[in-house]
Amino acid sequence: MRITKTGVRSREPGVRIDQSLVTSAPTSENDMKAKKSWREKLADSKGLPKVGEVTGKMSKRWGEGTMVIPAPIEVDALMKKVPKGRVVTVSADFASVDPTQVSLDAQGVGTTTVRSVSFGQDSIKAQSPPLASAAVPLYFSWPIAFLVTTVLGGVLGVALAHFQSPRRKKNFRTVLIRGMLTGIIVGALYAIGVNVLPIHPTATAGEALTFAVAAVAGFVGLKL
């Protein structure tokens, strides 16, 4: 008997075993374990809560002493105690936050939008007296994906419009440069909330959105 790409075949004529019937044993114990639900993960304390020393990089931010790491189930219980409608003030050192006043729902969750105005590390703070305030570090990097998708989208859109036009008077290099600039400008305007296009996408973020916006801008042209 020999194994081929299409299945397992016998030397005897007329005998063929389909590959879909051939199974292999699990390669590890993890393959045999079913995935845990989020409730099971929440109930798994993994040795928490526990008290530890504040050392290393943590001491630069939190000082010296001890800290308590709570169990996930304890954090969940505290979140459920937060009354619905509590208002939290969100601020940042450099970034733009909108809205700054966030109303929490029954699960203690609120939503706001943070936009970068520069590069580097920032700190997002949340305050709701008499509760203790909290801060989370956030790092803003160069928008490489944004630049690439806007340039490609603008070039594709303006090239498509150029080839569909019965009159091709402009040099194709000029057309490509126009597409690049159009894509970047319209993409940047859309990112800060200014839509100069005749379309209104339902999506709010993502490389696919910036590519599509830049492509439409390149195709119809930039009209301010």
Give pLDDT, residue 2. Answer: 44
Coil vs helix vs strand at 151: helix
Across-strand partners of 22? Answer: none
* Domain boundary residue, one of 113, 140, 167: 140
Average pLDDT across each block of 10 residues of the chain; the chain has 224 residues. List them in order: 43 45 48 70 82 81 81 79 82 88 84 82 88 84 87 90 74 83 88 83 82 89 65
199 and 161 both lie in a single domain = yes
Would you say residue 8 lies in a domain? no
Would you say residue 5 lies in a domain? no
DSSP-based helix, strand, coil % in the chain, nearest 5 = 40, 20, 40
Would you say residue 183 lies in a domain? yes
Structural domain containing residue 87: 64-140
Give pLDDT, residue 188. Answer: 86
Of 41, 128, 42, 36, the residue nearest 90 (C-alpha): 128
Distance, CA of 200 to CA of 219 (rounded, Å):
16
Element (DSSP H or E) covering residue 120: strand 120-127
Distance, CA of 135 to CA of 138 (rounded, Å):
10
CB 82 within 8 A of CB 103: no
pTM for this model (two decimals): 0.45
Distance, CA of 216 to CA of 199 (rounded, Å):
9
Burial (CB count <10 Å: 0-12, 13-18, 19+), residue 131:
exposed
Element (DSSP H or E) covering residue 116: none
125 and 189 both lie in a single domain = no
156 and 128 both lie in a single domain = no
Give pLDDT, residue 16. Answer: 47
Element (DSSP H or E) covering residue 108: none
CB 186 within 8 A of CB 146: no
CB 184 within 8 A of CB 215: no
CATH number of the domain within which 82 lies: 2.60.40.10
Largest CA distance in the chain: 83
Give pLDDT, residue 37. Answer: 81
- In total, how many domains does the chain have? 2
176 and 210 both lie in a single domain = yes
* Domain boundary residue, one of 140, 159, 181: 140
Distance, CA of 6 to CA of 68 (rounded, Å):
58
* Domain boundary residue, one of 140, 175, 200: 140
